[in-house]
Structure 1
Amino acid sequence: MNLNQRRLSKNLFEEMLLLTSQNLPLVEVKDNYTIIKELGSGSYGHVLLALNQSRGNPMALKFMQKSNTDLRVFLSEYCISLSLAAHPCIIGTYGIAFQTDRHYVFAQELAVNNLFSLMKPQAGVPEMAVKRCAIQISSALEYMHMKGLVHRDIKPENVLIFDRECRQVKLTDFGITCTIGTGVESMPENLPYTAPEMCILGASDRLIVQSSLDVWSFGVLLFCILTGYFPWNTAVPTDKNYTDYAKWHRSSRIFQIPKQWKVFTVEAIEMLKKMLFPEPSKRCASKEVMNCLKTPWKMSLENKNANAGIGRLDNSNYLVGLDNQNLNRRTAR
């Protein structure tokens, strides 16, 4: 997408925000929807499974608290979600947006769960299912990047599954999505998926967003769901696992392969190293995974004791850590 196309797209998006804000009705939920149960919650609000009383179809209603959600933030997430929903690997968003006395609300399609729910600590997800995920996430990211958008929050919780074999998965949660070239500040907390150029931002610094941010997070996601553990806690010089990786990446012939990487085949290592290039300008595109689908990604002996305890993925601790993140931009399911 060239500069003129980006400007046109930005103008159209602004018009979409304006029109949506002018047509955001005040709705009494109980008069229009039958609430079945809560699907998830966080500091942003909550997501409810609901039946539309006039149509009878189930949907997920995302409620965002007015007290801590700017109207433009809500409108941006809804409009971006709606504009991307035509892609088969991006969550469907219905043309339903309204407000209550205390919440802004919009509706999306239901999924079985998210990718994190399939992950087993120290084991991950079966390789065939991972490859199915890789194909679909790559397609979703290519579509977004072609439109000049960067997701900025790629992680297993934001990949929804519709079956346990991952024959259909969809990318969701566009709460911090922005256009390529936007200047952004550091996040409240850096996760293992956060690219190193974001981790080193000072309080007053701004980073110009590029699609390489998503490629990095996608690479960490693949590592994580293949193994069941993180390659590092944070991509900063004080994290030994990350610094060992960075040294090895710069000169593989001098530095020994980090032990948490020994579960991968040569082909998978080369693919991940291209995605996880510390210098953002040298990272490959997300479609790089398509070149490696015919080769195995993990060694035949997958459960090596040597990997025990490295970046261990513990569901409860991990979710506690996520509570400290800016969850008002996250779609819980």
Structure 2
Amino acid sequence: MAVAAAQELDELCYLSAQAMGSLTVSEHFHVIKLLGEGSYGKVMLAVHRKRGSPMALKFFPRESTTLASFLREYNLSLSYCTHPSLTRALGIFFSTPDYYVFAQQAGLYGDLYSVIVSEEGMEEERIQRVMAQLSGAVTHLHSLGFVHRDIKPENIFLCDSSCRWVKLGDFGLARAVGSTVRAVWYESPFCTPEVGPAKEAEKEWERRQEEGTEEEMEDTWITVEPGIDSWALGMLTYCLLTGCFPWEESTHDDRRYRKYEEWFEIERAHDKTDCYAIMEERYRENPPPSQFHGIGSLAMALFKELLNPEPKQRGSPEEILSYLGGPWLLGSEREQRRRAQEAQKEAQKVSETGGLKDELLREGKGER
């Protein structure tokens, strides 16, 4: 399927290249404000002058963007992003003297990054709403043979202020499953452990340059797998729960990541189907690293699925759905347990009172 999807996308790009025209933005759109910008270019909120409909115009500088990469992102968003939590292109694409431009659905309430409170995160109910939607969106994308490869708060757009409807966007790095890409190292927890060799190669190349060795740096290549997105979803979940990240980079150079990997190796021996009560008991013997101390057993089980150092053994985005509904933070887990114990005591009290009433009724009947 992945090969077929890649070939179909290439064909769509070829056909759309023949139909691409030039427009003057001001003649067809009323540009309202800047929604966001980055290395790719910028996104502007605009209203179509004839239709009166709001939309986001994504501008790609022609001097730094190839036509092929522009058309790939446009056609992928237009033809494959049919899930309600994927940002979809609107069928309008054109060029100006300085930019390639296409129109897409607008997230009028900003991005997810703007509502995360530093060192605090978000409310659990909102977090689970967000992750449920992203689970479906990414699962849909994978089913069509593509991996997003750039899931992060800045690429998740809000359609309302309560996160009841979010959309994953920015498909510039999306590639077909099984394709080979150059491994690019960057210092971020979203960068997967399997890209670590690229960092080592870069360090070796820098060392040789200091020694005066004149040679080009050899590229490190990796295969695009769905586990890349699973890792990013795990990182996103932690970020939403805590307002920070568990480590700075996913290599042994990072002490906090190294501690996590050591803990994970011990946990690997246990069956993932262990019930949460058993896991909670086991965590007393093998406590998670300190950065996870506020996380409940249900969320830790989810992290074991998504943040598996081995890419081929990571859980799929769809498995997030199995962990919804229960508490993800230790404090709310304890509160739920306290309420359950109180309810159990109350039920027992009612049961005992009911039994006493029955006994009194029987004695009364005997006296008569």
The answer for the alignment partner of 1:131 in structure 2 is: 128
Matched, 1:177 2:208: no
Q: CA deviation at 1:274?
A: 1.1
Distance 1:70 1:149 in 2: 20
The answer for the alignment partner of 1:109 in structure 2 is: 105
Distance 1:188 1:299 in 2: 34
Q: CA deviation at 1:44?
A: 2.5
The answer for the alignment partner of 1:192 in structure 2 is: 189
State whether residues 125 and 228 of structure 1, in contact with CA within 8 Å, keep that contact through their aligned partners in structure 2.
yes
Distance 2:242 2:62 in 1: 39
**Secondary structure at the counterpart of residue 330 of structure 2:** coil
State whether residues 52 and 59 of structure 1, in contact with CA within 8 Å, keep that contact through their aligned partners in structure 2.
yes
Matched, 1:277 2:308: yes
State whether residues 181 and 223 of structure 2, in contact with CA within 8 Å, keep that contact through their aligned partners in structure 1.
yes
Distance 1:215 1:301 in 2: 25
Q: CA deviation at 1:188?
A: 5.3
Selected match of 2:294 from 263, 266, 273: 263
The answer for the alignment partner of 2:55 in structure 1 is: 59
State whether residues 84 and 90 of structure 1, in contact with CA within 8 Å, keep that contact through their aligned partners in structure 2.
no
Amino acid of the structure 2 residue aligned with 1:54: K
Structure 2: gaps of 5 or more residues: 202-217, 268-281, 334-368
Identity of aligned residues (%): 36
The answer for the alignment partner of 2:239 in structure 1 is: 224
The answer for the alignment partner of 1:238 in structure 2 is: 253
Structure 1: gaps of 5 or more residues: 303-333
Q: Which has the higher helix share?
A: 2
- Indicate the RMSD between aligned Cα atoms, in angstroms: 1.6
TM-score, with structure 2 as normaliser: 0.78
State whether residues 185 and 196 of structure 2, in contact with CA within 8 Å, keep that contact through their aligned partners in structure 1.
no
Residues 1-333 of structure 1 mapped to structure 2, 5 A cutoff: 5-111=1-107, 112-187=109-184, 189-201=186-198, 202=201, 203-252=218-267, 256-300=287-331
TM-score, with structure 1 as normaliser: 0.86
Distance 1:280 1:106 in 2: 34
Distance 2:239 2:174 in 1: 22
Q: CA deviation at 1:85?
A: 2.9
Distance 2:187 2:147 in 1: 17
Distance 1:242 1:151 in 2: 24
**Secondary structure at the counterpart of residue 67 of structure 1:** coil
Distance 1:193 1:11 in 2: 29
State whether residues 200 and 236 of structure 1, in contact with CA within 8 Å, keep that contact through their aligned partners in structure 2.
no
Amino acid of the structure 2 residue aligned with 1:184: V
Between 199-208 and 123-132, the greater mean CA deviation after superposition = 199-208
Higher relative contact order (Cα pairs below 8 Å, separated by 6+ residues): 1
State whether residues 91 and 108 of structure 1, in contact with CA within 8 Å, keep that contact through their aligned partners in structure 2.
yes
Q: CA deviation at 1:301?
A: 6.8
Aligned length: 298
Between 213-222 and 158-167, the greater mean CA deviation after superposition = 158-167
Between 271-280 and 253-262, the greater mean CA deviation after superposition = 253-262
Deviations 1:246-291 (A, max 9, x none): 0011114775421110111111101111110101111111111111
Q: Where do 4+ consecutive residues of structure 1 move more than 6 Å?
A: none
Rg larger in structure: 2
State whether residues 215 and 284 of structure 1, in contact with CA within 8 Å, keep that contact through their aligned partners in structure 2.
yes
State whether residues 129 and 164 of structure 2, in contact with CA within 8 Å, keep that contact through their aligned partners in structure 1.
yes
Between 191-200 and 170-179, the greater mean CA deviation after superposition = 191-200
